[in-house]
Structure 1
Amino acid sequence: MKRLFLSIGLILAVLVGAFFGASHNTNQANTQKKIPTVGILQFLTHPALDAIHKGMVDELAKEGYIDGKTIHIDFQNAQGNQSNLKSMATKFDNENADLSVGIATPAAQALANTVSGKVLFAPSTNPVAAGLVTDLKHPGNHVTGVSDQAPLKDQLALIKKFIPQLQTLGIIYTSSDISATTEAKEMVKLATQAGLKTKVYTIAQSNDLAQVAQSMARNKAINAVFVPTDNTIASSMPVLLQATNPAKMPVFPTASTMVQAGGIAAESINQYQIGVTTGKMIAKILRGQTINDTPVEFMKKGELVINVKAAQKLGIDVPADLLKQAKAIPGGIIK
């Protein structure tokens, strides 16, 4: 009889242990599920976009979302390939990411058109024209983000300060890039209002840049060239400069990374700060804030960046007041 009771006791102990073991595993699995997944889709590799990504991850860590510990970040880079954008966006949707972030407008558009969950753009110059939102203050329940509209009035004033004899402004951009198109059209408007002539050149893809840039460089009437926020040209600045530098045609882009690559100067939106602002927005949404209550945020003020070496190469004197102003900004002077 004692053996019978002992056997029953052992069986009960095993069953109880199995029950609590299963409960522990279930609780552990549930705990793991509580760690949010954020998918980050970057359009291509470029210092400006890389800086946005870094700012985003750094700010998330400050907010308590550390990759691999309190959050899972699935980072994908499409390397400028449209089919990659689609397949990577589908991956985020299949894994039910709590939030998906598109670095640059093409990545954000791919996510918005594919992912059923929440989407942020970081950044998009004109999110309404890009079809990402219909209302900047009340985006809806699916998409919001950060806009990087360049301070174009300040940029034009900067170009005129460097080139006092400016009469004709060349403008080159990628026609399929909504952000670039928006800024290019706005610059044409501002230049016309300032009594300047403009000559516009467009490319469809990076392979077009060499030929179009050569055509632009042969136009002796052009005194300076403006390049808007354009991912395609940003990643191919050496190609553009191979045409413009021999023609002594100064290039004024909108991004500091494009100035570092050989542009003359820019009133540049800080790309890292775009990432920081996006990181703060991600944290708010993960904590329960709805996208409809998360208006599009704007990076309004630029930072002066001057490439002194590039200016000297073209025989351009840097105005003393601008040089002083740029020296007061970390990274404002590129030698």
Structure 2
Amino acid sequence: MKKRFWLGLALASLMTVTAACGGNGGKAATGNEEQGASNAPVEEEKTYTIAISQIVEHPSLDATREGFLAALKDAGFEEGKNLTVDYNNAQGEAANVQTIAQNIASSDADLAFGIATPTTQSLVDEVKDKPVLFAAVTDPVDAGIVPQLEAPGGNVTGAADTNPDAVVQTMDFIAKEFPDVKKIGLVINEGEANTVVMSGIAEEALAKHNIELVKAPVANSSDIQTAAQSLVGRVDAIYITLDNMVVGGVDSIIEVANENDIPFFSADRDSVEKGAFATVGFKYYDHGYEAGQMAVEILNGKNPGEMDVTVPQKLDFIFNLKAAVEQGITVTDAMKAYVKDPENNIIE
């Protein structure tokens, strides 16, 4: 009886040990295993890096960058979370432009973004193994950035920042509403390809109205005020294109225009907000946002070479009424009628 008792107890113990070991290959069960949890590592959220090359800081280009990043954030690509932004400013120096492009080419960035023509040209020359996107480029075909606007092929696409109609509309407006204007002065850095293209469009449009375009060339930003002053007494109005160097020094031109009652027209909204009288244009923030939407598509796998280069479509006249007073301009109801969205585009 006693032997049977101890034999039964031994067999029960053996069964208990076997049950404890058999379900896990001889290892003690952990709490996670008992609940059916996996020991596989948790996959981390993918992160992305965008390298930006901007030619110089001025309101239009800064707004382009801000809009670009806002579009990415709205699509879930947020700096500090799953997006790293490598921002580089060339400070208007050609040597910096090339160095930045070379650094981006050798980096592990997922996408390179050029803001303005010179920086984009350098990126296209240097970056071959990653997508290149651009904005604030006036004529990407003439600048050799893409071979055509539709499905440009390769690894490059972007958003051009001018619609030739905007320049033509501005010149036509001057000819009709300022009949005394016979000569228009253009402060111009002819080293920028986009400037040469736009000045040619303006010159052709003005020729149809028998208005002469008088150029005042600049080689660096310190020349801008002198160039503007050289136009006093020689022209009846002043105009600037999307010229990065000149736009960066636009305060000097505004000062000359105001002191001498010379109507001053620009090709960008930001210069009007600062003190030029009028333009036909758009918000550069919106332009950058559009480029950012293209970046989202590329990061999600779309081939940039299959994406058409875009141009601004929502053009409108933009007036600065305070600047009009400073420059001796009487803004008529007929002028105001040009503006489609007066609430946003008539600045008081």
Which interval holds the TM-score relative to the shorter structure? 0.7 to 0.9
In structure 2, the residue matched to 1:78 is: 90
Distance 1:271 1:119 in 2: 20
- Cα offset, 1:77, TM superposition: 2.0
- Cα offset, 1:296, TM superposition: 0.7
- Cα offset, 1:329, TM superposition: 3.9
Q: Which of structure 1's runs of 4+ aligned residues deviate more than 4 A?
A: 324-327
Deviations 1:181-218 (A, max 9, x none): 11001110111122222222221221222222221113
How many residue pairs get matched?
A: 315
Answer yes or no: is 1:227 the counterpart of 2:244. no
Deviations 1:126-166 (A, max 9, x none): 11121111121131212111111241121112223441222
In structure 2, the residue matched to 1:262 is: 275
Instruction: Output the amino acid matched with 2:103.
Output: K
In structure 2, the residue matched to 1:177 is: 192
Instruction: Output the amino acid matched with 1:230.
Output: D
Distance 1:300 1:175 in 2: 27
Unaligned runs of 5+ in 1: 1-8, 14-19
Distance 2:313 2:193 in 1: 19
Aligned equivalent of 1:153, options 153, 159, 168 = 168
Q: RMSD of the alignment, in Å?
A: 2.6
Answer yes or no: is 1:332 the counterpart of 2:330. no
In structure 2, the residue matched to 1:17 is: none
In structure 2, the residue matched to 1:58 is: 70
Aligned equivalent of 1:165, options 165, 180, 198 = 180
Distance 1:302 1:198 in 2: 24
Contact 1:144 1:294 in 2 (8 A): yes
Contact 1:122 1:275 in 2 (8 A): yes
Deviations 1:231-271 (A, max 9, x none): 11111112123333333221100111111222111111321
Q: 1:257 to 1:118 in 2, by over 3 A?
A: same
Answer yes or no: is 1:238 the counterpart of 2:251. yes
Secondary structure at the residue paired with 1:164?
coil
TM-score (norm 2): 0.83
- Cα offset, 1:113, TM superposition: 1.8
Distance 1:155 1:253 in 2: 9
In structure 1, the residue matched to 2:153 is: 140
Instruction: Output the amino acid matched with 2:258.
Output: N
Secondary structure at the residue paired with 2:137?
coil
In structure 2, the residue matched to 1:114 is: 126
Deviations 1:59-116 (A, max 9, x none): 1112221122232222222222223222322332222211110111122122112222
Secondary structure at the residue paired with 2:47?
coil
Distance 2:56 2:107 in 1: 22
Aligned equivalent of 1:304, options 309, 317, 333 = 317
- Cα offset, 1:298, TM superposition: 0.9
- Cα offset, 1:327, TM superposition: 8.3
Answer yes or no: is 1:93 the counterpart of 2:93. no
Equivalence map 1:280-299=2 (5 Å): 280-299=293-312
Instruction: Output the amino acid matched with 2:304.
Output: I
Distance 1:158 1:263 in 2: 15
Instruction: Output the amino acid matched with 1:234.
Output: V
Q: Percent identity?
A: 28
Q: 1:95 to 1:258 in 2, by over 3 A?
A: same
Instruction: Output the amino acid matched with 1:64.
Output: G
- Cα offset, 1:324, TM superposition: 5.3
Instruction: Output the amino acid matched with 2:76.
Output: G
Aligned equivalent of 2:211, options 187, 192, 196 = 196
Secondary structure at the residue paired with 1:217?
coil
Instruction: Output the amino acid matched with 1:302.
Output: L
Answer yes or no: is 1:47 the counterpart of 2:59. yes
Unaligned runs of 5+ in 2: 1-25, 31-37
Instruction: Output the amino acid matched with 1:96.
Output: D
- Cα offset, 1:326, TM superposition: 4.2
Contact 1:149 1:298 in 2 (8 A): yes
- Cα offset, 1:52, TM superposition: 0.8
Distance 2:250 2:174 in 1: 18
Contact 2:324 2:330 in 1 (8 A): yes
Instruction: Output the amino acid matched with 2:204.
Output: K
Contact 2:171 2:206 in 1 (8 A): yes
Aligned equivalent of 2:265, options 224, 231, 252 = 252
